Amino acid sequence: MYNFSIYKFLSLILGGLSVSSYMVLLMSLKTGKFLIIDWEIVETLSVNYVYSILLDWESLVFLSTVLLISSAVLYYSDEYMFHEKTKIMFALMVLLFVVSMMFLIISPSLISVILGWDGLGLVSYLLVIYYQNYKSYSAGMITCLTNRIGDSALLVAMGWAMGWGSFDFFYFLSMSNKEVVIISIFIILAAMTKSAQIPFSSWLPAAMAAPTPVSALVHSSTLVTAGVYLLIRFFPLVMNSSMSKFLFYSGILTMVVSSLGAMYEMDLKKIIALSTLSQLGLMMTSLGMGLYTLAFFHLLTHALFKASLFLCAGSMIHLFSGSQDLRALKGVISYLPITSSCLMICSLSLGGTPFLAAFYSKDKIVEEALGHGFNGVSLVLLMLSIVMTMIYSFRLVYYISIESLSMNYELNYDSQSMCKSMLLLTSGGIMSGSVFSWILFDDIYDNLWMEYKSLILFMVVCGFVLGILMKFSSMKFLSSFMSTMWFFTPFSAKFMIYSGENYAKILFKSWDYGWNECFGPQGLKMEMSSLTNILSPINQGLYKMMLMILISLIMLIFILFY
């Protein structure tokens, strides 16, 4: 008898929706048309509150990619979450997360964007604290508070947009006054918090406390890419506000810091999380250079191979009793050949190995950066961060495939249901770059200069050699310094917590133990007690006098009548 599985059922539905989105995308590309649906909810004070749906090639290709990854993650979770008591609730939360992302993708209006935006933040908090321990609660609080900053910025942008009578970004594309600049600044702030750019980067490594399927979905194609996708949608508005250089330098700084952290990190999931942070920095750098099409291209390719990386890591963690230390998984390819092979292929794609998915987008971004006229320091930092991405990618491959096994795992094996999802996404990590470049981005591949191509191949070779030769984990001080992102994570997270706690202690002493004791309930009690002590003797004498008068009246009445 076949046992019904809600995970496989939801995976089938999302997979069908993904295929349908791809078919609609092909029809849209063939006809050159796109669809806009407006539903006017209410009109007040000359402001139209309209719920809009935009189905163009950007929303359709991103929607289909997100649905494909969500389908693979849910199918993978059927076995990964099999022994969890609340696995049905987990599946429904993942579905709600996907629905929130759909609201964000298909919406050109800030009203419908905020629905998906807040939905992502709320459900991500619930998923991060799923295991309900101290570590997950702390990570969930950091994630929630950091994303609240972006939510507030987006609400402020909505307030400014309401003053102009519309929430659709089409309305602001041709405007360049100060109010539009203010709107774009708040949209950039919201995008930086959601995409974990410096100084809002501490929540992304902390969110690894969530179950691995959550990390594969949230930290590859949905939550962290929501900020980049928002900037791509509002890109003309952002470029008109002269904020492009700020995005460029912020992206480069995020790339350098996160790449150095990944080079010294030994936690498998944190290495992949820091690599996500590095690639988000590359997307922001591309937006800063005005290459929003290439940023979107890299977003699509990155989503597929990064989701596969997380699923491979989760399979190893699941089968090796929760061990995430890279040193304990040396030579794991001997016991998990399919999982390890998928992880190695996606790691090589992450590093920019020629003719894998990320090579096509990274190659063009580097070429455009070299010819874009930025200063030499910025270009050197960009080159170094790309080389460091290759270093920790090849370092991960080295530990998984070449190092000898340090522990005995005789009972571990590749899970068939998990491997299906990993193989599907890994095939996307191999072919998505070439397929997308041929179908969607063919007109931007026109650079065949030998100098640029040779430089990129040189960076690949340097990253390969350094990733194998250098043993970063042996430098203990640098390891602790780099793995905490130059102590930036304790500064940005613990500093705010401790400063708030100290401020609360000061208020507690000065108000609860101070002025509130004098003028609050305790002070009122003391004043009433002292007043009662003053009036008590008077009241006692008055009672005696009234009692004597009453007795005298009774005696007088008795004498007069008897």
Encode pLDDT of 314-335 as tens digits: 888 777 766 777 777 776 777 7
Tell me the CA end-to-end span of the chain in Å, nearest whole number. 107
Whether 115 is covered by a domain: the verdict is yes
Whether 43 is covered by a domain: the verdict is yes
Whether 295 is covered by a domain: the verdict is no
pLDDT at 50 over 50: yes
Whether 348 is covered by a domain: the verdict is no
pLDDT at 256 over 70: yes
Total tally of structural domains belonging to the chain: 2
Whether 506 is covered by a domain: the verdict is no
* Inter-CA distances, 384 with 270, 362, 389, 507, Å: 21, 14, 9, 47
Average pLDDT over residues 61-68: 88
Whether 305 is covered by a domain: the verdict is no
Average pLDDT over residues 156-174: 71
Nearest-5° Cα angle at 233, 229 to 236: 130
Radius of gyration for the alpha carbons in the chain, expressed in angstroms and rounded: 31
pLDDT at 377 over 60: yes
Residue 4 lies in domain: 1-242
pLDDT at 2 over 50: no
Whether 132 is covered by a domain: the verdict is yes
Q: What is the pLDDT of residue 1?
A: 40
Orientation of helix 376-401 relative to helix 357-370, angle to 10°: 160
Nearest-5° Cα angle at 226, 105 to 463: 125
- Where do runs of H (alpha helix) occur along 195-291? 203-206, 212-218, 223-233, 235-240, 244-264, 268-288
47-55 and 35-44 as β-strands: parallel, antiparallel, unpaired? antiparallel
Domain boundary among 224, 242, 260: 242
Domain boundary among 212, 242, 272: 242
Domain boundary among 210, 242, 274: 242
